[in-house]
A and B are shown apart, each in its own frame.
Chain A
Amino acid sequence: MNFQLTKEQEFVRKMVREFAINEVEPIAAEIDVEHRFPVETVEKMAKYGLLGVPFPKEYGGAGGDQISYAITVEELSRVCGSTGVICSAHTSLCGWPIYNWGTEEQKQKYLPDVFSGRKLGAFGLTEPNAGTDAAGQQTKAVDMGDHWLINGAKVFITNGGYADLFVVMAMTDKSKGTKGGISAFIIEKEDEGFSIGKTEDKMGICASSTTELIMVNCKIPKDRIMGKVGDGFKIAMSTLDGGRIGIASQALGIAQGAFDATVTYMKSRKQFGKKLSQMQALQFDIAEMRTRIEASRLLIYKAADMKEKHLPYGPYSAMAKLYAAETAMYVTTKAVQLHGGYGYTKDYPVERMMRDAKITEIYEGTSEVQKIVIAASVFGK
């Protein structure tokens, strides 16, 4: 047992924190208000290797590990939850499934562009009538002999409007449902019959792009299927297991950012002749916030370390996400409260952080779904 970060991981934190403070924080409030996807930040993240952290160099990755990746998303999210999820969705939901499930040809073709950030990635599972209940997929892929023909629509796709590559699930055999009826495909944004639909107007993470994907007689080559026909559900579930580490890290970062802002505020804000930081009732809030943040961090690093070591980490990433997301909501709500009226205004970042925190309890599996996953690890499915 060793709770020390490695030298590499320490340097990753130092680097991403400097990057986040100089490049991300100054525009975080502005891109939130304008609902503007920060294309310039994505380019900078690409330049410094932030979009391929936990992948080997032979495919163009940075050669890092899963904890370094968690730290990267945490530090970005500490100042901007939108920027954190851009990195997380790209890395966990597009980079990872291609790396883990793709053929050697697919890996050679796509990964250098994905890991270097030349191409941004997204993932399409959710449909209007199939969120958690993936078996309700209505998007269909039909084998036309020399190509696949895909018809259907996906919703709530993170990075949708700016991604170049999409890992998309579609039903190939309705009768088999989640037991071999779903397949995973790589779709390029230029593919015939593929388009981006409505962009969602969201409560938080307003600078991230959340869109519909529309496939009308979308024609893609035969070699775009990932794994075998019918592997889709397995691919999607294993991808989400890893994605939860990214979202848990996003939640952790948001919580840490709100915590840090609150500590600074409490040291300067005076009421009744003393600083808020000198009032014991409020100190107790800070103690509770800090403890939950630290507990979240330990759960996340444990899940990430298990993934790194190829141990069965599914329930652990679910516990990490469940706890970190609830912590993000708890901490940001307290942070707003401790800021008083100022916390409710856009003059202070905690208002944005509280709106950003809420989504972490919902996407990549709601907190309820995490509990299903965790309970299944206890009682069996």
Chain B
Amino acid sequence: MALKIIVCAKQVPDTNEIKIDPIKKTLIREGVPSILNHDDSNALEEALKIKDIYPDTYITVVTMGPPQAKDMLIECMAKGADAGVLASDRALGGSDTWATSNALAAAIQKIGDFDIIFAGRQAIDGDTAQVGPQIAEKLNIPQVTYVEEFELDKNMKDITVKRALEDGYEIIKLQTPCMLTTIKELNVPRYMSISGIFDSCKKDIPTWGAKELNVDVEKEVGLDASPTNVYRSFTPAGKGKGIMIEADSEREAAQMLLINLKSKHVI
């Protein structure tokens, strides 16, 4: 029985190159390269590792975004995914996590049967970590977040995962179909292959709008249907300059530091 895996991915601005508009306080997107979200590349890698062992595994990567998100889907296919699906429509613009998960859950239902959904823990632009869990809820399947180890039984049904917690971990057993959100400790993502690049650029990537997804543009997706809105974004003011203590000896410097901390009632 061939496994069917869905990977949820997002194209995000490269945070290494990010700039904030000092007046509007929004991200400057022009000239900032777009990349496959880091945690999502771990999600894809885990799917590809399953395919390495069971080559008839079929991996579909699904994303929601503007038309240029197709490039990210090509990248995923050049790494080894079989197909990509883009949910893109002006009516989907401005969706918050609730509306986004409505659209993605609808896309996954349209794709059809699946055994496992891998999604990155969170995207580096929004950092909410909500979309994966919400999709699982809407599809009514079990979910485990923060997966750092994954094992699939030979029966292709039983899964054991290690779930990272702030102060430890949990070992959880569950069965397909399920949603797993992944963190970077799970694996080391591979590169695209050259032959994969030339194959995937030729592949057709279906683009589904609100109509194809069969979602209600007034109640389920888009800015107006979103229960949350960004009220304001701002760049936190930089912390003041630290005090450099200059002294003749380390002992003297330590004394001055102590005096300073005590006078401020820190210690």
Contact = CB atoms under 8 A, between A and B. Distances in A.
Contact of B193 (A6, A18, A48): A48
A306 B199 CA distance: 23
Contact of A49 (B71, B74, B75, B195): B195
B78 A64 contact: no
B75 A11 contact: yes
B198 interface: yes
A112 to B, nearest CB: 13
A62 B191 CA distance: 14
A7 B194 contact: no
Q: Lowest 4 CB-CB distances: which A-B pairs, in order? A: A49-B194, A62-B194, A62-B195, A63-B198
A15 interface: yes
Contacts of A19: 191
Contacts of A8: 197-198, 201
Given A7-B201, A14-B192, A52-B194, 4 more contacts: A7-B74, A11-B74, A11-B78, A63-B198
Given A7-B74, A7-B201, A12 B195 contact: no
Nearest to A115: B195
Contacts of B201: 6-8, 11
Contacts of B195: 49, 57, 61-64
Interface residues of A, number: 22
A194 B75 CA distance: 44
Nearest to A51: B194
A72 interface: yes
B78 A15 contact: yes
Interface string A10-44: 01101100110000000000000000000000000
Interface of B: 71, 74-75, 78, 191-199, 201
Interface in A50-64: 50, 52-53, 57, 61-64
A378 B31 CA distance: 44
Nearest to B78: A11
Nearest to B70: A7
A68 interface: yes
10 contacts: A7-B201, A11-B74, A11-B78, A12-B194, A12-B197, A49-B193, A49-B194, A62-B193, A62-B195, A62-B197
B40 to A, nearest CB: 16
A246 B71 CA distance: 28
Contacts of B196: 49
A72 B201 CA distance: 18
A97 B147 CA distance: 49
B190 to A, nearest CB: 8
A15 B190 CA distance: 10
B194 A50 contact: yes
B86 to A, nearest CB: 15
Q: Pick the most buried of B78, B192, B195, B196: most chain A CB atoms within 10 A of its CB.
A: B195
Nearest to A6: B201
A32 B134 CA distance: 52
A70 to B, nearest CB: 13
A123 to B, nearest CB: 22
A64 B199 CA distance: 10
Nearest to A45: B194
Contact of A72 (B71, B193, B194): B194
